[in-house]
Amino acid sequence: MVEPNRISVHHVLGAGLVADVLLWKNWRGGVAVLSSATTLWYLFECAGYNFLSFVANVILLLVVILFLWAKAANLLNRNSCSEVKMISEYRGSVECSKNYDINDF
């Protein structure tokens, strides 16, 4: 007989995306989590890589990708990103407030 107060594991885990990934209902997400965890385990445990080097290399890779993206957009005559324009009065007030903070230090 089935007990009336039984709760499924899916509902215990929150019945959302996390539960779907952990219970392999969303198998692509489960494969992504398993492969990324395996890769990170290999890098940190077997290869002797440390976390600071990993973060620095990821940031460096991001900067290179953004640089290449901007150069490619320039070569293809497309806008790489919108220009940031500052109002001169606002810039002057920011500079003055920074000057006051430095003088108070």
Of the candidates 63, 39, 62, 43, the residue with the CA atom closest to the CA atom of residue 52: 43
What's the DSSP call for residue 36? H
**pLDDT one-digit tens code per residue, 45-91:** 998 889 999 899 999 999 999 999 888 887 887 765 555 565 555 55
Q: What's this model's pTM, rounded to 2 decimal places?
A: 0.52
**CB proximity list for 24: less than 8 A, separation 6 or greater:** 30
